[in-house]
Each structure stands twice: as structure tokens, then as C-alpha cells.
Amino acid sequence: MIELQLPVSEEEIRKLRVGDEVGINGTMITARDAAHKYLIEESPDFIRSYLENSLIYHCGPVVKQSAGKWSFVAAGPTTSIREEPYEATVIQNYQVRGVIGKGGMGEKTLSALKEYGAVYLHAIGGLATLLAESVQEVKDVFMLDEFGVPEAMWVIEVKNFPAVVTMDSHQKSLHSKIKADSREAAQRLIHPVM
Amino acid sequence: MKIEEQPLEDQVYELIVRASTDLPADVVNALHAAQQQESEDSPAKNVFSMLLKNVELARQNKTPICQDTGTNIYHIYYPAGVSTLQLKRVIQAATVRATENSILRPNVVDSVTGKNTGNNLGRENPFLQFEEWEQDHLRIELLLKGGGCENVSTQYKLPDSELEAGRDLNGVYKTVVDAVYNAQGLGCAPGILGVGVGGDRATSHLTAKKQLFRKLDDTNPDNKLAELESRLYTDLNSLGIGPMGFGGKTTVLGVKIGSAHRIPASYFVSIAYMCWAYRRHSLTIQNGEVKYD
């Protein structure tokens, strides 16, 4: 297990390789569908300091509020590929060092990881209670009224947040490999040689 | 049968809590069996260990297994004389309460304005399907189906020349293999597949989703479908996609197929992909006795 402390430098991120298991510590921010569209279309400046040399977590949490303080109740990753049209530009414009999500992303994002020095980290889908426990504190929230709870941008402090590198800054993707291997197997089943 | 709203609202609330925070026994057993099968120290084995740890923790803490508490799909079987309007009211009230208590995420968005309703009520949400039956008791089944797996669910129209799939069960077989290949890990594999053969576009999907209320270890009463379920289960697990698409021996936990009659011009196959967080529970009320399963 590699400890990944945020904020993180480009140099540190480029050391990570597909298959590396990491435990993430520090401050990161959630952003999913509405937030990605917003980051591209409105280019908000106030958010820059939260993104620079940090990570974006594709997550729409279940939260609760007591005595004015928010906390995360359930917070697993959501499907990342929906952000494929936006992510490369977000990484470029905001110097984000990586994204955490599930399911992997496409060629455009993979190229951006290489060009700008970032990684794709895969968290386990459906691990909501366990991952919420690694969220030590909700530090702030943006666009809550506009986007609603799942889509708001939550600034969180995490400790030992577990994830696996499945796309690195060296043009490697576990997802492309599994897809290619399973394609052969699927073709043999669909078009058997008589 | 007379329905008293207040105790029933509490019972439906308890049903939602169980669905969101606890997996049924057959699913937990299947996850344990899958973990045993994966090779030592493989990423797949590690994924299953984490999943099972999360399931245990969610049960203890009474917190959601997955933050995407999904589309709430109800199948309600009721005896003659019960008011479905009253049942709807009760389910809506329990849904609002479960949302307030962070058992359900506010998950319902107005498709025109983009506004989250904040309480999980909206047009077609929760989704309620009522069926009057001849039995004397009330049965409410609930499935929480997340978006990741719903987005990889799909429908085919046979014949399909690319798949060389004709209008028969072998054609159905090919569509299911293709759908699971296309889904990769995106539906939070290992998946459970509900397959609907026939119907029109709408009833085909409904038939597929209805299969997800079956237990993993049941046997299809139709021999041909039972055989196809078992063939698909074995073959899909040879694809090597594995849990989360990390590679491994377990790509699906179950395949359940049902059929609906069709008109001669149409032959649809619908595939409802359910994620491993297979949150389905039921509530039965008979002679004042309440049972959860």
C-alpha cells in the first residue's frame, strides 16, 4: 500500500503505475455530472485552490447534518465515464493530479493523464459505508442549493481512503486490457467456430 | 383485509431500512462463495473481502450499503378490497421519512428543471406496480436499483445481423453475452441479470426487472429457460471481467430469465443488469403477523 498525501506534486503522481494500491490522506473535493459541466462552462475561479495538486472524487454522497455540521454517511464512487467529455479539460485547466471514481475512463482522459501528469484511481463501487468512514471531516460545500446533495461539490478531509491505480500517466489502462481480453472470449461465445 | 396506515408506514419504513442497509442472505452467500473461488492475493479476492466488510459494517451501523440508493422499485401484491391509493400514500410517507433519516439519498431530479425534489418523491418515483391476487395477504417487495447498473441495462431487437442472433433462445444467449461484455465493470460487477424475452419494448423491460425479485438459488420452472440460465451463468463467468472489471473468475452472480408473449412482428430481449449490491427485501402481512425476507 502506497501512502498518497494531498496536495501531491506532478513528480510524485508520475511515479504511480497501474496496479498500485494507495491509501489517500488529505483534502479533496467531490464533483460529478453537474459540477463538471459547471467547471467547463463557467470556469469558476474560487474553486481553483481546491483542485490544484489535489484529486476530484466522482461521488454523490448520502449526508447528514447535526448542529450545523455536515458529515458523510455513505460515499462510494459513481461511474466516471460520464465525465469523459469534460475531464481532460478539467485536468488541464485546474492542474488536478487525478480523479477517483469507478469503471475507468476513455482515451481522451488517458492522454490528458500523460500530458499533464495525473492518474485515475479506482475505488470500489458500492463500498459506501466503509469509504464514508475514511472521511474525517466535511470542510465545506459549494453549489448545494443549485445542484442538490448528490451533485454538490463537497470539500472533504480523508484518511486512508483505499483505491487502486487503474490508469496511469504512462498511457497504461487496466480497463483497456480487460476489455480487449474479454472481447476475444465474448467473440468465441457469440460466433463459435462450427 | 383492512389496512391501518400508521403501523403499515412503520413497516414499510423498516422495509426500506433493510433494503438500503442489509443484503438478503442468498446474496451474501453468493458473495462469500465468489470470494472463495478467486485466487489468493488477486485483486478480485481483495475486492470481495472489501465488499463483505462493507456489507457487515453497513448492517451494524444501519447506513446505506451504497450511496446510490437508486430507483425504488416496488411490486405490491394485494388481496381484494385493499385501496392502492392508500398503499401509495403509505409508501410515499415512509419514503420521505427514510430520506430525512439518511437511509435514502435525495435521488429524484425533475428532468425538465434539473431540480432535485429533496424527498425522493416525483413522477414515477418511487415506482409502484400493483397486482391484485387471490391470496388473503399483502406482500410488498422492494428493489433499490442504482444508476450505474441501470445505465448498462439494455434492449435488443432480434434478429441482429452483427451478433448473428436469430429469434430463438440461442439468439437470446448471444445478446446477453454481448450486453455483459459491453457492461464490463461499469455496472458494479459481479452483476445479477434479469432477462426479459418478448413483450413490447416496455413490457420486455418490466419482465426483465421482475426477474430480479427471484432468489439467486431458485430454479426456473421452465426447463428451457432454466437450461439457458445455467449455460449463461457458466459462460459469462469465463469472460474474465471479474468484480469491478478488475479481472477474475466472477463476472455474474446469477442469470434469471422470464418471458412475455409478443406480437409476430417483434422479438425484444431486455437485460436488466443489477449490481452486486443487490438490495431487495420483502414484507408480508398475514393475519396481523408481519414478516420480512
Query: Which residues on B lie below 8 Å from A75 (Cβ)?
Result: 67
Angle at B230 between CA B226 and CA B233, to 5 degrees: 135
Distance from CA of B181 to the nearest CA of A (A): 7
Sorted by sequence, the CB contacts under 8 Å of residue B230 that are 6+ apart come out as none
The answer, yes or no, to whether ipTM is higher than 0.85 is yes
Taking CB atoms and an 8 Å cutoff, what residues of chain A touch B181?
182-183, 186
> Are residues B68 and A164, on separate chains, in Cβ contact within 8 Å?
no
Binary contact (B181, A125; C-beta < 8 A):
no
Chain A, residues 2-31, CB within 8 A of chain B, namely 19
Orientation angle between helical segments A84-94 and A33-42, nearest 10 degrees: 50
Q: What pLDDT, on the 0 to 100 scale, is given for residue B245?
A: 97
Which residues of chain B make contact with A181, given a CB cutoff of 8 A?
240, 247
pLDDT band at A194 (very low <50, low <70, confident <90, very high): low
CB contacts under 8 A, A 155-194 vs B, are 162, 164, 166, 174-175, 178-179, 181-183, 185-186, 189-191
- Residues of A labelled catalytic: 36
In the A/B pair of chains, how many CB contacts fall below 8 A?
160
Walk along chain B (293 residues) and give the pLDDT tens digit of each residue. 778 888 999 999 999 999 999 999 999 999 999 999 999 989 999 999 999 999 999 999 999 999 999 999 999 999 999 999 999 999 999 999 999 999 999 999 999 999 999 999 999 999 999 999 999 999 999 999 999 999 999 999 999 999 999 999 999 999 999 999 999 999 999 999 999 999 999 999 999 999 999 999 999 999 999 999 999 999 999 999 999 999 999 999 999 999 999 999 999 999 999 999 999 999 999 988 999 99
**Contact between A185 and B275 using a beta-carbon 8 Å cutoff:** no
Sheet of strand B71-78, all strands in order from the earlier edge strand to the far edge? B127-132, B71-78, B138-145, B279-286, B289-292
User: Considering the entire predicted model, what is its pTM?
Assistant: 0.95
> Are B274 and B193 spatial neighbours (Cβ–Cβ below 8 Å)?
yes
Contact B245 A162 (CB under 8 A): no
Residue-level pLDDT at B161: 97
Question: Average pLDDT of chain A?
Answer: 96
B221 Cβ neighbours under 8 A, 6+ residues apart? none
A130 within 8 A of B50, measured Cβ to Cβ? yes
- For residues A129-158, give the mean pLDDT: 96
What is the C-alpha R_g of chain A?
17
In this structure, what C-alpha cell is assigned to residue A40?
Answer: 467547463
Strand ranges, E, within A31-74: 55-57, 62-66, 69-74
Interface check A83 vs B, CB under 8 A: no
Give the per-residue pLDDT at B215. 98
In B254-293, the residues whose Cβ lies within 8 Å of chain A are: 275-277
Residues of A whose CB is below 8 A from B47: 124
pLDDT reading at A157 higher than 90: yes
